Every structure is written in structure tokens, then in C-alpha cells.
Homo-oligomer: A and B are copies of this chain.
Amino acid sequence: MTWIDIAANSPFGPANLPLGIFRTGDEAPRVGAAIGDQLIDLAPLAAERLPDVAPAFTGQSLNAFLALGRPAWQATREWLLDLVGDEANRTAVEPHLIRLDAVTMLLPFEVADYVDFYASEHHASNVGRLFRPDAEPLLPNWKHLPVGYHGRAGTVVASGTDIVRPSGQRKAPADEAPTYGPSQRLDIEVELGYVVGTPSALGSRVSVDDFKDHVYGVVLVNDWSARDIQAWEYVPLGPFLGKSFATSISPWVVSLDALEAAEVPLGKQEPAVLPYLAGELTNLNITFEVRWNGQLVSSPPYQEMYWSPAQMLAHLSVNGASVRTGDLFASGTVSGAEKNQRGSFLELSWGGREPVTVNGEQRTFLEDGDEVTITGWAATPDGTRIGLGDVTGRILPAA
């Protein structure tokens, strides 16, 4: 409930209250909380009412806030719930409400390390069939550990950033030698990204039970992928330039506390996982929608993901690797069992062999000028939707 006037179907209802970095005119960027089609400018309100946290709201990224840790995150959420829930706060809050269409949203946090997992069985199986048609689709390690790799943190960009078509080497199996040029198989990957707040010490581990002490919340991720570059380069050390040109994330970080009502039990894992990956594991009931030049082409379901995010973090750190404030780890492409639930165009067009009709045009991979927007929301038992906002980008011709 809120005294603020918001649409019933708003992604940013009074139980959500995601945080982001906004800028208006010439003013310095700072932290806002979304509510309906407005945001609350937090720094001036918090200066008086939440003084311990207030300095973290004046920065140009959420990192200072993320570093405060779970007690401060929870105190902030309680404060925000009261601000929007109790009409007695109207006089104090109203001067600090700004319409979302009057601000520019920026990258919400400085990315420390970026890890990308591969946690959808449907996706991994589809890609296995397409990249290694003569072998078992899932490799022997896949059900024993959440496979992942490090991506390029410096090219994680804010939603809305134009994506220049990457160039590089590619070689079709029938070609004698590789050629150089713009990627001809430019793709998306629909993912959920987890944002680390509280660091861990080098040489220690984060157990599955401590997940929420370290991870603040989630963003939408579009892990743009150049499939022709990737297919040629990826043995034996994994994807590199096929991914590193850009990864787009949504501007609003939705807290795990807001998403608690959308938690569901993790699906069965068979064979049983090793003890360091076992526990009371949950997943999130999130649905994504992928729009290609405005047309809905896919609705991947997150709750079918094989690996839980708590397992991803436990695995990432089991060797003693430390995590830092601002670390981002993403789920890997979210694909469901059905064709209209696939989270990449590689899968949707089955390697380019089955074109997709987009506004009457035939598409396999992305063409210059194409725009892709991914939205997502978490569904809760009482019917409330916790929106994740959107992440969008348009393809510019190769430089």
C-alpha cells in the first residue's frame, strides 16, 4: 500500500523499491528508489532520517551503499517501506519525487569482477547440440558443478547504450582459413545478474547458507554474443571476444528482500551435488519477455534454472577466491523447454536454420538498427508482480 499514485500494473509497486543511479540536468548523479513512474531522490531525505546510510546515497554508483552490508540494506528497506506506506510522510517526501521520464538512468554500480554462469539445462543442451552436434549435448561436468567463466567487467554498460557490431575472426567449418570482418551472427542472451555487496576474505568460502549476507539484489542482463567469433575462438580457454565487446544491464537493482515473496524451491538435482553445494536451496519465479524491434519473440522462465544462485556463489568461492563489492555474477542464458521460451536467437532460430518472423521480416541474428528490449518480473503467491524494469540496446553498424 502506498499514498503515492501509481498504476495497478506498475513494475515498481510499493513492495519493490529498487535502487538506481539517476541524473537530472547538470546535477551530480545520485541514488534514487523507483516507485510507480517516479523515483524518490534519497540523499536529501536520508540526510535527516537515515543519517548513517545517507552518505552512501550521494555517490555516482551504488557501491558505497552495497558495501554497507545486510543490516543497512534491511534498515534502508524498512525506511523506504514506511516512506511510501505511511501517508504521514507525504509532505516530507513529495518534494523529492521526480518523474522517471525526466531523468537519465546510469550504470547502477561499478562492476568489480564479472562472472557468467551457464545454469540453464535447456540452454546448455541446445548450445551443445548446435556447437558439438556429434557429441552428448551436456558435458560430463555440467550436473556436478555450475559451469562458469569470467567476462569483461569494463564493458558492462548501462541499458540504452548503443551496441557497435563487433568485428573479429570467424571461420566456418568449410572455410580453409579464418576471415576478418563484422560478426554475421550477432545474438543476445537473456540472463539474471546477481550483485555482490559484502566482500569475503581471500582464502575463505561463502557457504550456500550465507548467500543473502553477500548478495544485495539482481539486475537484468543482456550478454550480447557474436556466435561466429565465439565458435572459432572458444577452444580451449572459453569465450573471449565473442562476448567481451558489451554486456548490458538494467538500471534498477531489485533487492533479494523484495524478491523473497517470489522464492520457490529449487528443482531436483540428480545426481546429488557434493556437500558444499547442498542446502535449503531456492530459485526465483521470474518471467522474462524478449522484444525484437518491439515484437514479443520469447518468454524465458527463470524458475526452471538448474542451479541456484546460492550454489553459484558457493562454487565461485569454494577455492578461496574472494568476492568484492560490485562483483556481478550472471545466471547464463535463461531458456525454457518450449521454443518460445528460448533466451538466445541462436536457439530461437536453431543456429540460423529456422528464421523468426519479426514484424513481417525474416530474422535469424541481429541486423544493424535492430533493437532488443528484455523485461522481467517476479510473480508472488498473492498476485503481486515485482518488476525488474528493462534492459535495452540497439545495434549500430560495425566501426
| A interface residues, Cβ below 8 angstroms from B | 112-113, 115, 118, 128, 131-132, 139-141, 144-145, 147-155, 157, 161, 164, 166-169, 171, 177-180, 202-205, 226, 229, 232-242, 244-246, 271, 274-276, 315-316, 318-324, 327, 396, 399
A115, A202, A239, A396 pick with most chain B CB within 10 angstroms? A202
| Nearest Cβ on chain B to A245's Cβ, whole angstroms | 4
- Please measure, in the bound complex, the distance between the C-alpha atom of A324 and the C-alpha atom of B239, giving whole angstroms: 20
Contacts of A320 in B (CB 8 A): 164, 166-167, 245-246, 399
- Please measure, in the bound complex, the distance between the C-alpha atom of A149 and the C-alpha atom of B240, giving whole angstroms: 5
Protomer copies:
2
- Please measure, in the bound complex, the distance between the C-alpha atom of A176 and the C-alpha atom of B49, giving whole angstroms: 59
**Is there contact, CB below 8 Å, between B151 and A150?**
yes
**Is there contact, CB below 8 Å, between A318 and B167?**
yes
Task: Give the residue of B145, B167, B232, B275 whose beta carbon is less than 8 angstroms from that of A141.
Answer: B232
Contacts of A275 in B (CB 8 A): 180
Task: Give the residue of B178, B319, B324 whose beta carbon is less than 8 angstroms from that of A168.
Answer: B319
**Is there contact, CB below 8 Å, between B145 and A113?**
no
**Is there contact, CB below 8 Å, between B112 and A245?**
no
**Is there contact, CB below 8 Å, between A238 and B236?**
yes
**Is there contact, CB below 8 Å, between B322 and A235?**
no
Contacts of A315 in B (CB 8 A): 241
**Is there contact, CB below 8 Å, between A274 and B178?**
yes
